[in-house]
Amino acid sequence: MRKHLLFLIFLLPFFLNCKKNEQEKIRLIITSSDWYTTTRNFNNNTFCEVHLKVSGTTNGELLSIETFGDGLIECGEIKCNPEKKFNTDVLICFFPLRELTQKKFGTTLTAYSSKLKPKVSFCDTVGSGDTLSVKLESPILTCK
């Protein structure tokens, strides 16, 4: 018993001096965002499409963006270059255009510190580790 106590007392300073290696906090910086609308005809129906041009930087291993159309929320991956910069144009949503529409839209970009799967499929199963989300909201957009 005494040997165990001496052993613990001897090793206590060693354990107290060990520091957990802190990981760098995840960053997601949006440098520009531009919302716009287009219309598309499909099977004699006109649809309004809401787009977002977005650029920025992150230190994450994966970057996703929420999209929706026909009521289904999905996530798409935003590819970054080797310097972790991104610049993309994403179709955020679409809906049937029945009349003049003026509305605000929004989306969320999420940076993940690590990647679970090589391909983004659903928002809640694509990344792991620390996350950082940034919500973007459009001005009032008109689809004619």
pLDDT in tens, the chain (144 residues): 555 444 445 544 544 444 434 457 999 999 999 999 999 998 998 999 999 999 999 999 889 999 887 667 788 889 999 999 999 999 999 888 877 678 899 999 999 888 766 555 556 555 677 889 999 999 999 987
Per-residue model confidence (pLDDT) at position 21: 41
C-alpha distance from residue 42 to each of 48, 49, 93 (Å): 11, 12, 15
Per-residue model confidence (pLDDT) at position 105: 92
* Spans of all domains in the chain: 23-143
Q: Can you read off the two tokens belonging to residue 57?
A: 């930087």
